[in-house]
């Protein structure tokens, strides 16, 4: 469809007297689905939109680190790999595994390269680096940097040895990278056309290069996100899924023939509730995951639900009309 962004998700609120639902807010954005050969199967909005893909690329960043570790030493455990791909909630299970990963490099938690944060699991907690949602990624950075002999103060430098290697992998997975800024955690944040993120996720589902992160994420869904998170629910259904800040979401699945499909989405206003709702809703419409796999917390009034967050009619129609995906042939990424 034409236009750089379209209606993807709507938020409703129910009239107290008539019980009629009214649309209160609409989230616009762009979405693209690619097929086994990287071809665009369908798109809403502009699939070439340059996008800061943020934490959606953590599986590729983790792979870059693992490749630097392949020459010596024991590999991190699948759980440690999973948390290095995470934007976690700082639940106890997350913090425990990040600490295990830090022990491999001898890095004290207070010397992580991410900033202090509270985390979502315990808002009253003291802000510390360990509780930052990217602490797993930075623990993996510390280990890979040690292997390379990179000083700790260079770990986030885009021209330093570690990030040079990481950006090379991002170029190969999504490339070419068309811009490098600074992410919220301090690491390089790259821009690529949205369609390239979808193609990267399709590759993530089947290519041997990504097998370690793929198996780790699918094997430990709760470490990748946490309680109530859409990516954890999707991973539990065998769909590779990873959101990023400001309304970015990547996902992939395979059909019964082993052909991979990739999905990438960017919500224009950056709302994470909209990106998660749109991706889960699309996959539900396609039959990739069952109805009710994940539902966004509803809008409330007086402390009780008074509406819902749901996909738009435009997105629902788009999903039903995708030409190259026969729902009867769709299976999970497992």
Instruction: State the pLDDT at residue 223.
Output: 98
Instruction: State the pLDDT at residue 330.
Output: 57
Distance, CA of 284 to chain centre: 18
Asked if 128 and 109 touch (Cβ cutoff 8 Å), the reply is: yes
Instruction: State the pLDDT at residue 74.
Output: 78
Domain parsing of the chain, residue ranges: 6-57+158-331
Q: From the first residue on, what is the mean pLDDT of each consecutive set of 10 residues in the chain (334 residues)?
A: 80 94 97 96 96 98 94 86 98 98 97 97 96 98 96 97 98 95 98 98 98 98 98 98 98 92 98 98 95 97 96 96 65 48
Instruction: State the pLDDT at residue 333.
Output: 45
Helices 135-148 and 92-105, packing angle to 10 deg: 10
Instruction: State the pLDDT at residue 326.
Output: 55
Asked if 12 and 308 touch (Cβ cutoff 8 Å), the reply is: yes
Question: Could you tell me the pTM of the whole model?
Answer: 0.95
CA pseudo-torsion sign 93, 99, 102, 108: positive
Instruction: State the pLDDT at residue 256.
Output: 84
Q: How far apart are CA 247 and CA 267, in angstroms?
A: 5
Instruction: State the pLDDT at residue 324.
Output: 65
Sorted by sequence, the CB contacts under 8 Å of residue 288 that are 6+ apart come out as 237, 239, 253, 330, 332
Instruction: State the pLDDT at residue 1.
Output: 38
Q: How far apart are the first and last CA of the chain?
A: 32
């Amino acid at each position: 469809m034409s236009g750089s962004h379209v209606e993807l998700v709507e938020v409703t609120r129910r009239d107290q007297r008539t019980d009629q639902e009214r649309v209160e807010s609409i989230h616009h954005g762009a979405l693209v689905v690619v097929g086994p050969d990287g071809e665009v199967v369908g798109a809403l909005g502009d699939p070439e939109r340059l996008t800061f893909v943020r934490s959606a690329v953590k599986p590729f960043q983790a792979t870059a680190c693992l490749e630097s570790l392949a020459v010596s030493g024991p590999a991190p455990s699948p759980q440690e790999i999973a948390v290095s791909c995470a934007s976690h909630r700082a639940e106890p299970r997350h913090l425990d595994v990040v600490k295990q990963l830090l022990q491999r490099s001898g890095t004290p938690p207070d010397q992580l390269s991410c900033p202090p944060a509270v985390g979502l699991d315990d808002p009253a907690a003291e802000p510390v680096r360990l509780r930052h949602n990217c602490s797993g990624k930075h623990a993996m950075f510390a280990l890979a940097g040690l292997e390379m002999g990179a000083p700790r103060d260079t770990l986030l430098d885009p021209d330093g040895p570690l990030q040079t290697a990481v950006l090379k992998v991002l170029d190969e997975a999504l490339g070419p990278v068309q811009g490098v800024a600074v992410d919220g955690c301090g690491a390089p944040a790259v821009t690529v056309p949205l369609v390239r993120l979808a193609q990267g996720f399709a590759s993530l589902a089947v290519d041997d290069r990504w097998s370690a992160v793929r198996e780790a994420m699918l094997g430990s869904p709760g470490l990748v996100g946490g309680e109530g998170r859409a990516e954890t629910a999707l991973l539990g259904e065998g769909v590779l899924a990873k959101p990023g800040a400001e309304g970015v979401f990547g996902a992939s699945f395979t059909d019964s023939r082993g052909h991979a499909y990739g999905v990438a989405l960017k919500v224009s206003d950056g709302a994470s509730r909209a990106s998660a709702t749109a991706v889960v809703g699309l996959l539900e419409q396609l039959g990739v995951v069952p109805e009710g796999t994940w539902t966004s917390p509803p809008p409330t009034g007086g402390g009780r639900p008074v509406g819902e967050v749901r996909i738009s009619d435009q997105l629902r129609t788009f999903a039903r009309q995708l030409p190259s995906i026969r729902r009867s042939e769709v299976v999970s990424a497992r």
